[in-house]
Amino acid sequence: MPTLSYGLTYVKLLLLAFLVGFAIATGVSLFIFPTTSRSMIFHQLRGYPSAVKSLLDEQVTYIKSTESGGPWKITRMATVVRRATSSFSGPRPNDEKVSKEAPNTFESPGLRTAIGKLSAIHSQVNAEMRYAKQEIVWGTLTPEDLEKLISLLRSLFLSLSGIAMLPRVFKRLTKAVQPQRAGMDATNAEVTRQDTFSPIVEDSPYETQEGTQEHFVQPLCDRLEAAKALVNSGLQHTFTTLQLSKSKDFSTVIRGRRFSFVSRDEEEGVETGPGQKGFTANFERKLYHFYSQRKNLPQHWANLNAFSPASHDEHNRSPEFREIRKEFFVILFIGHLQDILLQSIFDLVKFADSKVADGTMRHKRVIFPKSEYLKQWLLGGWPEEDDTATKIPVVGEQTDYEPSIHGKDPLKTRFADPEHLPPANRWQRFGNWLRRLSHLLSSKESAFGLRVAVAAFCVAILAYLKQTQHFFYSNRINWAVVVIVIGMSPVSGKSLFGLIGRIVATILSTGLAFAVWYIVAGNTAGILVFLYIANCLQYYFYVKFPRFIPACIIASITFNLVIAYELQVRKLGVAVSASTGLNVFPIYLFGPYRLVAVMAGCAISFIWVIFPSPTTAGSQVRKTLGRGLFVLATFYNCMHTSIEVWINQEQGDLDDPQSPARLLENARNKLFFEELTLLAEIRNHIEFTKYEPPIGGRFPKEIYERISLEIQTILSSMALMAHVTRNLERMVPEELPFRESISTRRRWSASTWSDSGRNEEKWIEHLARAASSQDFHSQVITSVLYHLSAAVSNGLSLPPYLAPPHAFPLARNLRKMNENLLDIRNIEDPSFSAFVSVEVLSSVVNSNLKTLVSDVKLLVGELNFDIYVHRHRHRMRERHDERQQRQGEDDQRSKEG
């Protein structure tokens, strides 16, 4: 009869078996074809320069394809045809033409494919970076160097993502910008209605001739080509200097001829080519020459204005009626993207040179991880994995968050507990600790743990009953208990997907075991050979399809267990194998027996997933979306503050970690990655909704997918809005005397230019005055996003007439102050280009936010009591029409009489 000592001996043997297995796995990974996380990162990064080159090539191709009948023309047509959309809502033939042209014009599969490759590289690098910091390796770059390199590449990727957004920017900006018409009378409205149907004549101020249009695009393409050459050479220098790639990796063989990755003039320079000592100085000279060429752009784009000129019949209208010339903003936006892209490349070049200067790249050495990384590895924690900040309390849930206190970090105090004030003494602080313990026991994780325990005990109870103890042990019923413990998931859709995958994997592995055993007629040597081949086959799916890892693990366990057990019985004999009390089965019964145990465990698991109440994937999508909208609103709040700090020139010293700019940047990065994590979780839950049996109405999967895409676009646009305002002072050539601010040499008058004097004023100071309006500081977008988050999280209807603000708000304020502030001649000032980029991205955010509000309304509805008076208004309108008709008939009869 088993005793305590027998049980302890069994536990000791079991632990020893696990440790032996871990030791064998560790030894194989270290000494047989060792692969480090660092080598995986370097392998992924080797494809980075070619992906960037492909993206920039596609950018030039896309812009050139728009010279005739492209986005520029559609933008102007949309502006003309739809400028009176608020005063007339009838059908417009030109609108139909625009809508038909737009889908074909704005698509760019090349840009989408290229940015997809870069995004995949960053995802894989970020996944490996955690483990690369904890490795003991033989190399040159330290974990801190790797982290700095990935940070610089991430900044580069953000600029490239702005380039990949060009089709969406064109598509969004072709939608009419609503003009401000507060003072527009009925006569002007009637004139506008008539103008809506008038054709676009050649001398229309809203239409641009084809020659002028090409005059806009060709100089832009020339600058794109120049920027592309600099980017390619900078990346080649960085990767060759850091020994991530070799020079031969940057050449392309076409029809038997080898072409260089960079331009011919870079090839000719021996001391100034990529990877050489004199490259950085030469690159910096070319970079500032590129920036200095901005002074020539006003000559090429002299006819490019921010607002359409007033026509001969608009002299009596409000100046607010004049429409936005979106070509002006888009061209400057594309140009500024190249400027910040080159700054990111220059940062990479300087980082590579700094590693050579400090001796890092001189020789390889053993690199040990820092003690903090080892501590994190031992404790199993990681700073980025703390997701408590992304948990948003909903109605009916208890919270242990402390109330927000003025002056504390907003990231730590953005969630509050409205039921408790901050603790004032030791007893209240001790009470907070007790509340945390209570919330831990009442959390969803604890409830799921209870479900798993009850489900496992439904089978394990057989081991505690005297009548069934022998049956439980001898027939290996503990297999079903193990399947229950490792197979349950808190979400019903994911759980059902995993359980079905485990059953299918067990069936396939059982058939594979039969094939391995019988294909060699039970010969031991042949079995071992095919055992190795079959394991290689199974682990191919383990590596290739990560989503099927749990099923692959069950399949591998079943396959090896069946083969190993039969080989053990053959070696020891039936009598010795049965002496332990376990029943001995032949392989054709042992395999199906294992399959039945797995199926029984999966069935019991699913029962306790849906009983007493299921946690569906659809509900997780809704709750995660609510959290995502909340984090997005917080991110916009932080980004808006960053823009205000830039406008008011309050960034402080960028080298100081406590400066406003650095603090805001750290907060933005944290919120950005939180939002990316939530978006990935939303898409993951959406994928599992199709495995849930439909009960009640159909889950609106398409709406949630559209919402996730809109959030992704809004998030990228917001991140770019802050990114385009960084390091603008570095975009002015050093040799110019006005490097501090190129606009300091000018002083504005009402409508003319004049030389600088004592009262000279920077261009950005005018922008600061324009941004001092209440509309800019109101943060309407933040309020709208908070409304959407609360509505989705708690299932509440939206308030009526919820809408984002108008597009191009600062541009309109600047035009009120002085129209010359938006002249193309200001392009020499990087602040002007950054402002234009912010306006374009803000308009993209507004457009996507409008669509987002509409989609959320489809989910939660709108609380509007106008429905009570709709019928009355309809009757009154019918009566009014009848009176008008009778009056017209009476007037007609009176005229005839």
What is d(CA 741, CA 736) in angstroms, rounded to the nearest whole number? 10
303 in Cβ contact with 205 (< 8 Å):
no
Tokens coding 114: 């290229």
Supply 274's token pair. Answer: 């990529």
Strands 257-260 and 251-254: antiparallel
pLDDT digits (tens, 9 = 90+) for 320-339: 445 667 778 888 899 999 99
Question: pLDDT category, 734, cuts 50, 70, 90?
Answer: low
**Helix axis angle, 71-81 relative to 93-106, nearest 10°?**
160
Query: With contact defined as beta carbons under 8 Å apart, do 838 and 846 qualify?
Result: no
Beta-carbon contacts of residue 807 (< 8 Å; ≥ 6 apart): 177, 178, 324, 839, 842, 843, 846, 847
Pairwise CA distance, residues 644 & 779, whole Å: 11
| pLDDT higher than threshold 90 for residue 48 | yes
- With residues binned 3-state (H G I as helix, E B as strand, rest as coil), the percentages for the chain, rounded to 5, are 70, 5, 30
Tell me the CB-side half-sphere exposure of residue 846, using CA atoms within 13 A: 20
Distance (Å, whole) CA 747 – CA 762? 8
**345 vs 326, residue with greater confidence:** 345
The answer to whether the peptide bond before residue 694 is cis (omega within 30 degrees of 0) is: no
Question: In the chain, what is the straight-line distance between the N-terminal and C-terminal CA atoms, in Å?
Answer: 122
Lowest-pLDDT choice from 129-138, 449-458, 500-509, 702-711: 129-138
- Cis, peptide link before residue 804, omega less than 30° from 0: no
How far, in Å, CA of 726 to CA of 831, rounded? 10
Mean pLDDT of 711-726: 93
| Residue written as token pair 């409830």 | 447
CATH number of 35-81+108-177+215-248+276-305+324-383: 1.20.58
Helices (H), 197-245: 210-241
**Contact indicator for 798, 860 with CB cutoff of 8 Å:** yes
Task: Report the predicted TM-score, pTM, of the whole model to 2 decimal places.
Answer: 0.84
pLDDT 10s digits, 87-141: 434 444 444 444 444 444 567 889 999 999 999 999 999 989 988 988 888 899 9
CB neighbours (10 Å) of residue 428?
12
* Cα distance between residue 327 and residue 79, in whole Å: 11
Mean pLDDT for 712-732 is: 89
The CA dihedral of 567, 571, 576, 577, to the nearest 10 degrees, is: 0
* Residue 847 Ramachandran class (φ > 0 left, ψ -120 to 50 alpha, else beta): alpha
**Cβ neighbours of residue 264 closer than 8 Å, sequence gap 6 or more:** none
Domain positions in the chain are 1-28, 35-81+108-177+215-248+276-305+324-383, 450-610, 617-732+761-873
**3-state secondary structure at position 324:** strand
Euclidean distance between CA atoms 469 and 206, whole angstroms: 88
Find where tokens 């641009």 sit.
Answer: 208
CA dist 843 and 849 (Å) reads: 10
> Measured at the alpha carbon of residue 656, what is the angle toward residues 651 and 658, in degrees to the nearest 5?
75
pLDDT score of 741 more than 60 = no
Alpha helices in 366-443 (DSSP H): 371-379, 426-441
State both tokens at 39.
């080598």
Length of the chain: 897
Query: Which DSSP string do the residues of 383-399 spell out, in sequence order?
Result: GGG--GGG----TT---
Kindly state the tokens that stand for 138.
């033989």
Please compute the mean of the pLDDT values over residues 328-353 and round it to a whole number: 92
Q: Label residue 30 by pLDDT band (50, 70, 90).
A: confident
pLDDT on residue 897: 62
pLDDT in tens, 371-422: 888 777 777 654 444 444 445 554 445 455 554 455 577 887 777 778 888 8
- Please say whether the beta carbons of 75 and 173 come within 8 A: yes
Categorize the per-residue pLDDT at 628 as very low, low, confident or very high, splitting at 50, 70 and 90: very high
pLDDT value for 199: 33
pLDDT digits (tens, 9 = 90+) for 581-593: 889 999 999 999 9
Q: Which residues pair with 254 in a beta bridge?
A: 257
Rounded-to-integer distance, Cα 35 and Cα 46, Å: 16
- Give the pair of three-digit tokens for residue 171: 């598509």
Encode 685-723: b = buried (16+ Cβ within 10 Å), e = exposed.
bbbbbebbeeeeeebbeeebbbbbbbbbbbbbbbbbbbb
In this predicted structure, the answer to whether residue 528 has a pLDDT above a threshold of 90 is yes
Give the integer Cα–Cα distance in Å for 697 and 706: 19
Q: Mean pLDDT across the chain, nearest whole number?
A: 81
CA 65, chain centre distance (Å): 28
Residue 730's CB is within 10 A of a number of other CB atoms, namely 17
